[in-house]
Structure 1
Amino acid sequence: MPRFNWGAAPAPKYRYLVYGAPGVGKTTLSEYLPGRVFMLSLDNSFQRVNRWQGSEDIWAIDPKAPIEDLQEFAVEFNPDEYDWLVIDNLSNLQKLWFVEKANETSNHLDNKLQHYGEFTNWVIRFISKMFSYNLNILVTCWEGDFDVTEANGQTFQQHAPDLRASARDYLMGNCDVVGRMVVNPKTGGHGLVLEGDIGTYAKNRLDNRKGCEASELFTIQLPAEAGDGSTAGASPEE
């Protein structure tokens, strides 16, 4: 007997991960989210985005005590009141976490070797908790360049979210879309790479797009019922 009951399963919710260089417009993507949105800000970038001016749907992390602050958030946040949760940005949380842990050492500056394993376990638990909520989620990270070794021994660099390796793999594996946000140097337009290659990690398991403009990221391109190969946009529902 199968342990998964399709009849009792809730409507699908979507997990997006967007990474890119600082200032490329990742937080501004929240402007395009439909419905009721809550901002879990890990770097205060929301202050520059029009959508959040005067909003009370914001939790700005305490940079001096990020671990304790997020524990409080997990207790107080009610996901049933929202359609979307924005976690912005996880790379900055990683830096704040290590600073807090270093502050516990004798010189308040150096991290212990055990801290690196602790962070991986802690952040995976944090992501797992957030992803257990029955709502859509957008996570942002800064961009990093990482060495990747192929089976033949050749090593190359790949653009990917700036996060420690095991935590990064867990996050990317549990998201429906992983996009690299870039700016067109000729037009100044903001867009996302949604198909990976040897130099960029990206994926899109929601539709067939290989890339899109920033304003179209959260519109899923569904095949038209007429079967003529055209597409029809459908935003993730509540």
Structure 2
Amino acid sequence: MEVVNASQISKGKDFSVLIYAQPGTGKTTTAKYLPGKTLVIDVDRTTNVLSGLDNIDIVYLDTIHPALKTKELLKDIHDNYIDKYDNIFFDNLSEFEQSWFGEKANESKTKSGKDMGTPQQGDYNQYTYYLHDMIQYINSWKNINKIYTAWEGNREIISPEGQSFTQLIPDIREKSVNKIMGLMNVVARLVISDETKKRGYLLAPTPAYYVKNQIDDRTFAMQEDLFNWGSSEQASDSDVRS
């Protein structure tokens, strides 16, 4: 049994962060602001935005057979490469989900002999456990920061007063999204100014969107400052509009 005294734990190290936003708004670019050496697991093939950065390595996940190949890839990283990196950047969970169910649909097509296949009911239950176990496995890696990206989705929420409203959340299957957000130290939503093109991350929750920050007291961070935990400079969401 390994016992660690809480006084030895640093909130700003070995962290897990989930960032989400609409496609093409700068989630992948955020990887360049991570300190140290970063390994990006590229799922959606958008890492061209990181071109020329010598502190970032990229490995391409097999999106044709993600269920099996992802386990093999993660084990290979953990067993042979984890000591080379300070950060693991999984980009992105939403596309991973689409690829995972795409593989199951192809398997169904092969078995049925039909022109089109669809995932079976059991596949959805299996995926819920698969994704949860995969992220728990990555998060268990010691001495390395874990960052995940996802597209932006929404869900309908009923308040205790009976009011219905739409809440923005990471675009992950409804049965999984609460569990996944619960595994993160930080869930941050990227916003971008139409006028200035500045990017920043919302860190304070509201009924309109799900975010959280368990590491420091900031409620907002400019994109380049997101990983500066404990920063004395408290940015505001008005900074992306200035």
TM-score (normalised: structure 2): 0.85
Q: Distance in 2 between matches of 1:8 and 1:40?
A: 33
Q: Distance in 2 between matches of 1:8 and 1:65?
A: 43
The equivalent residue for 1:50 is 51
Q: Distance in 1 between matches of 2:25 and 2:135?
A: 24
For residues 155-194 of structure 1, the aligned pairs below 5 Å read 155-194=164-203
Q: Which moved more, 1:14-23 or 1:63-72?
A: 63-72
Q: Distance in 2 between matches of 1:8 and 1:131?
A: 20
Q: Distance in 1 between matches of 2:159 and 2:6?
A: 42
The equivalent residue for 2:33 is 32
1:130 counterpart = 2:138: yes
Change (3 A) 1:21 1:7: closer
In the TM superposition, what whole-angstrom CA distance separates every residue of 1:36-86 from its partner, at most 9, and x where no partner exists? 11111111111222355796x322011211122212112210322211000
Q: Distance in 1 between matches of 2:147 and 2:70?
A: 17
More helix by share: 2
Which runs of 5 or more structure 1 residues have no equivalent in the other structure? 223-230, 234-238
How far did 1:9 drift?
6.4
SS at 1:145 equivalent: strand
Aligned residue pairs: how many? Answer: 223
The equivalent residue for 1:6 is 5
- The root-mean-square deviation of aligned C-alpha atoms, in Å, is 2.3
The equivalent residue for 2:239 is none
Change (3 A) 1:206 1:137: same
Q: Is the 2:19–2:187 Cα contact (8 Å) retained in structure 1?
A: yes
How far did 1:10 drift?
6.8
For residues 57-206 of structure 1, the aligned pairs below 5 Å read 57-77=57-77, 78-105=81-108, 106=112, 107=114, 108-134=116-142, 135-206=144-215
